[in-house]
Structure 1
Amino acid sequence: MSEMLVSPLKLVPLRTRPLRFWHRGEVVSIDNVRPDRTLLDLLREDLRLTATKEGCGAGDCGACIVVVGEAIGENLQYCAINSCIKPAHAIHGLALWTAADLSAPNGDLHPAQQAMLECHGSQCGFCTPGFVMSLFALYQRSVAKGIRVDRHAAHQALSGNLCRCTGYRPIVQAACQMQSKWDHKVIEEPIVAKLQSLAASNDGNTNYLMPTELLALLQVRAQHPQAQLIAGATDAGLWLTQGLRRMAQIIDLSRVERLRRVEIYPNYIAIGAAVNLQDAFEALSADRPSTAAFGERFAGWPVRQSGTLGGNIANGSPIGDSMPLLLALAAQVVLMAWREERIVHRVVPLDHFYTGYRQSVLVADEVLCWIIVPRPQSDEWFGAYKVSKRIEDDISAVSLSIQLRLQNMRITSVRMGAGGVAATPVRAIRTEAALIGQLWDEETLQRGQTVIQQEFFPMSDLRASADYRRQVLAQLLHRAWLESTGNNNVRLEALS
């Protein structure tokens, strides 16, 4: 079917396939859904499924969280997502649960709901549906893996939910208590069968393109270079809800199977652009355990499960958390395109990728497909630091990552990536030059602190002043010196 979308410049013809997904035992099919309509608006306004609440509209509070299930082989993979920043078409071919879908037909509550009731985990109740959905996703993952939920797992699962009433203790208690009943596991076989039938059908959609093969992605990008490319849409969703932008055409790469892999080689790992942030940081922390705590502070669990490492890099925000870390690790990006009836690619070092504020060398028909990260050498030390107003679920005011190689306490190699101090994520080239070849002692540290404060001219904004950012850079360098010389008590997680 077709209609016309009015924009300030021109009329754009729309042809959208029916949006189809599993819900409450059947396949729901909806026609004429705009490519830029959010899932939350679809649920509340079109389907009148008002158990899902609208809070911040920015993916921060978690009131809007729903759970989607994707058929992976014969099983479902469950993901709690922020429906307020998720395009509705992104759940095509998936299963959907809201807080109204969990209780049994006879009215018995799901263990997540029952535990919240018994532990008095709800007061005003506005945030409760989102908490219950995060607990439901945690319950399903725990049942599938046969693991017990501890307080750490509970805090991780609930890191994308905010509450102003309870103080969180009873909700964490509910998360640990719900595992006493394992008899509410979703019966997956009929759901998987219906999802597989949806995946086999292809209705055609020129305005929300969702290719599953890399070649198809590159070809549609060549045909539609003006379309908005998204993966998890955790930032693009904000353009819709906060910036009130309209997107007449979207290319969603999140289903491209080849780009959902982490490939491990002897000298490097290759992370596909569609790998979500949670999986990407788990892959990075397997080689460098110090990145695990940094990854947990990237955002809440729903954002880390939806957003992708490739999207964070391509977005190019100067306060994006992953880029300073990757700059320090000498990462490269693989850019691919379909030209003259063949796939072409180029490999670009990340420190040559950005050309200005949210600008890069990526051209209109290219797609950022892979992130290449060298594996550590035996004499490497690595530290990654983030300072923000909130400990969790907040964007950095300043971040600094440092890779050192030492021989007899002399610096033989150093790379430093900084965020929040320039128009782009950037390497601290002058500071690196001041440290290379020097003994890693207090005198060298002080020299490096002086240089790094002079190297950048950050702006003052709501997150921090320019002077504060320069001071924090120097103090983070001091923290790196303490840790790399054997002091292991300079992080909050170390003290716990």
Structure 2
Amino acid sequence: MRSVIRFMFRGAPVEVSGFAPHTTLLDWLRLLARATGTKEGCGEGDCGACTVAMARVQNGKAAFLPVNACILLLGQCDGAEIVTVEDLANGGSLHPMQEAMVAHHGSQCGFCTPGIVMSLFTLYHEGQRPVSRNAVCDALAGNLCRCTGYRPILDAALDVCATPTLDHYSNSAERVAAITGLDDGGDVFAGDDQGFFAAPASEDALADLYLRHPEANLVGGATDFGLSVTKGLAEPRKIIWLGRVCGLDESTTSATELSLGSGMRLADAAPLLARLHPDLGEVMRRFGSAQVRASGTVGGNIANASPIGDLAPCLIALGASIELRRGAGTRQLALEDFFIAYKQQDRQQGEYLRRIIVPRPLPEHSLHIFKISKRFDEDISAVLAAFRFTLDGKRVVAARIGFGGVAGVPARARKTEIVCAGLDLSNEASWAAALDTLDQDFTPIDDMRASADYRRLVARNLLRKALMEARGGKLSQTRLQMQGWSNAAE
């Protein structure tokens, strides 16, 4: 067992011990490392001013991921390399991305520029050529330019990303070996039984530790938990990070289902879910930002039981189930049964979410998913609706309907499902009973994102929209097309 965390910073390994479990990477960078080029903006992972690159070895190469340093816990850096804006220049020469920002006048006040440059640095290292304008917009969805200088920033990115990736961070055997050498395969336990940051290396170690400390906070990517520290001013004494648990981030596939480990990052899960259905791919593209998807996990989005988490209603409509583990024992239950009340789950002391099992859609299934939010990019859903109709020609044989944002938990519209069974899609007048039944399924929440009346109306309209699409016809008649994306939702 190791009592320190280890990561690479500016070409050398760093060991940190004796830190408070809730210490953020941003605080360490600015206050201790004095890397003040990384800025503190919103403090909640929305503006991107604090963006840095985190490199981990994937498929034998160093992969650079954008992360929000303001809500990332320092302990989550274990086993990685951290790159800040000060590190990009080489021997007095600016990085190609920095040079392009200068040439295209992409920096104005400069406060947000470091985070923008770091997001584009990770895009530069993705290796996808050519890079489209839409891809650049996606990469920058988590970065604000308060001076509204987006056009020259996009031009700078398109310019430099049209060239081969040639910089001193290009993959090398030395960098891969240095990062790989940080991981000794053992458990990390920094602190004592009264307060600690722990990162178990195996499920057995995790299960044992959580049984002994069931009051500890389980953390996946900290994209939600981090806000309790920065905004709620919480100082949690015991944190168990799941990012080092061997196998918890893996997936398995079969002809009938997709199984996702709860520790799988959203960025890694996105292409797997997109293969199930294009609408799932679109939901994942609009899921937070590149920074959020690079840190946040599938299990974290499910296990925090938020009524506005985007994954849960989608997977409920698909008939997903989950596997929980406590000690040596495991159990499974339907995903919708996991949510009891607001922020409450069917989870025993010392029990954690292990994996999510998602059935593959069948040929007779018609799947429709819609996300409604105030902003198109990087915004929490006001309503997310997912519909899976089982069809026999133009007749609905069965339905599974998942909603987020209309109740205290992600939930099924069970009464509406019953009424939908038997609907004649060619007779629109027959849909009225199903539309009216939605009011019996939910009592919508009323908050700053949307009023209860608005949510009630939107839910009704989305059901009508899904039935129209199931009936057949061009998606261009029911889908809003934006910025060239062919399958954009609302």
TM-score relative to the length of structure 1: 0.92
Paired with 2:318 and 2:263, the residues of 1 have a C-alpha distance of: 20
The residue aligned with 1:399 is: 384
Q: Determine the C-alpha separation between the residues in 2 that align with 1:392 and 1:135.
A: 17
Q: Which moved more, 1:74-83 or 1:203-212?
A: 203-212
Cα offset, 1:494, TM superposition: 7.1
Q: Of residues 302, 317, 320 in structure 1, which corresponds to 2:291? A: 302
1:102 aligns with 2:84: no
1:378-397 equivalences under 5 Å are 378-397=363-382
User: Do the aligned partners of 1:254 and 1:274 also contact (CA within 8 Å) in 2?
Assistant: yes
1:83 and 2:69 correspond: yes
Deviations 1:212-238 (A, max 9, x none): 222222122122211110110100001
C-alpha change, 1:494 and 1:481, in structure 2 (3 Å) is farther
User: Is 1:162–2:140 an aligned residue pair?
Assistant: no
Q: Deviations over 1:98-147 (max 9, x none)?
A: 01100111x111111111111111111111000100111111111xxx53
State which of 22, 25, 28 in structure 1 corresponds to 2:11. Answer: 25
Alignment of 1:49 with 2:32, yes or no, is no
Note the C-alpha offset of 1:402. Answer: 0.3
* Residue 322 of structure 2, aligned match among 320, 323, 333: 333
Alignment partners' CA distance in 2, 1:185 and 1:137:
14
Match of 2:488? Answer: none
Determine if contact 1:16/1:32 at 8 Å carries over to the other structure.
no
User: Distance in 2 between the 1:182 and 1:327 partners?
Assistant: 41
Structure 1 outlier segments of 4+, above 6 Å: none
Tell me what 1:487 maps to.
474
Q: 1:466 aligns with which of 452, 456, 466?
A: 452
* 1:199-255 deviation digits (Å, cap 9, x = unpaired): 127564351111222222212212221111011010000110111111111111112
In structure 2, the partner of 1:222 is 211
**Does 1:190 pair with 2:190?**
no
Q: CA deviation at 1:167?
A: 4.2
Instruction: Please give the secondary structure, in 2, of the residue aligned with 1:50.
Output: coil
Alignment of 1:199 onto 2:187: no
* Cα contact 2:108–2:149 (8 A) shared by 1: no
Among 178, 184, 198, the residue aligned to 2:160 = 178
CA–CA separation in structure 2 for the residues paired with 1:270 and 1:241? 33
* 1:263 counterpart residue number: 252
Larger deviation, residues 278-287 vs 356-365: 278-287
Partner of 1:239: 228
1:1-150 map, 5 Å? 17-72=3-58, 74-105=60-91, 107-142=92-127, 147-150=129-132
1:420 maps onto 2:402 in alignment: no
Normalised by the length of structure 2, the TM-score is 0.93
Conservation of the 8 A alpha-carbon contact between 1:22 and 1:191: no
Distance 1:376 1:467, change over 3 A: same
Is the contact made by 1:16 and 1:34 (CA closer than 8 Å) also made in structure 2?
no
The separation in 2 between residues aligned to 1:494 and 1:181, in whole angstroms, is 29
CA distance in 2, matches of 1:166, 1:313: 35
The DSSP-based 3-state class of the residue aligned with 2:106 is: coil
| Greater alpha carbon shift after TM alignment, 132-141 vs 168-177 | 168-177
Residue type of the partner of 2:314?
L
1:181 to partner: Cα distance: 5.0
* Percent of residue pairs bearing the same amino acid type: 40
Separation in 2 of the partners of 1:256 and 1:322? Answer: 22
Q: State the AA in 2 paired with 1:155.
A: C
Q: For the residues of structure 2 that align with 1:66 and 1:72, how far apart are their CA atoms?
A: 18
Alignment of 1:268-279 (within 5 A): 268-279=257-268
Superposition pairs of residues 342-353 of structure 1, within 5 angstroms: 343-353=328-338
Structure-1 separation of matches of 2:116 and 2:401 = 38
Matched residues in 2 for 1:491 and 1:276: separation? 28
Match of 2:353 among 368, 380, 385: 368
- Mapped partners of 2:278, 2:343: distance in 1: 30
Separation in 2 of the partners of 1:465 and 1:204? 45
- In structure 1, how many angstroms separate the alpha carbons of the residues matched to 2:246 and 2:339? 27
Q: For residue 281 of structure 1, what is the aligned residue in structure 2? A: 270
Contact persistence 1:74–1:189 (CA under 8 A): no
CA contact (8 A) 1:18 1:31 kept: yes
Contact between 1:58 and 1:85, CA under 8 Å: does it hold in 2? yes
What's the CA shift for 1:168?
1.4
- Any conservation in 2 of the 1:52–1:64 contact (CA below 8 Å)? yes
Aligned length: 474
| Separation in structure 1 between the aligned mates of residue 401 and residue 455 of structure 2, nearest angstrom | 16
**Which whole-Å CA distance do the structure 2 matches of 1:156 and 1:362 have between them?**
36
* Amino acid across the alignment from 1:71: V
Q: Which residue of 2 aligns with 1:251?
A: 240
Equivalent pair of 1:18/1:33 in contact (CA under 8 Å): no
Q: CA deviation at 1:70?
A: 1.0
1:359 maps onto 2:344 in alignment:
yes
Query: Residues 79-107 of structure 1: CA distance to partner in whole angstroms, max 9, x if unpaired?
Result: 100010000011012101001100111x1
Shift of 1:278: 2.0
Contact 1:453 1:471 in 2 (8 A): no
Q: Partner letter of residue 152 of structure 2?
A: P
| Structure 2 SS opposite 1:493 | coil
Give the counterpart letter for 1:184 in structure 2.
D
Question: Structure 2: which amino acid aligns with 1:27?
Answer: P
Shift of 1:73: 5.2
Structure 2 Cα separation of the partners of residues 196 and 296 of structure 1: 30
Give distance in 2, aligned partners of 1:118 and 1:385. Answer: 40
Cα shift at 1:304: 1.0
CA RMSD of aligned residues (A): 1.7
In structure 1, the gaps of 5 or more residues are 1-14
Superposition deviation, residue 194 in structure 1: 2.4
Paired with 1:211 and 1:188, the residues of 2 have a C-alpha distance of 29
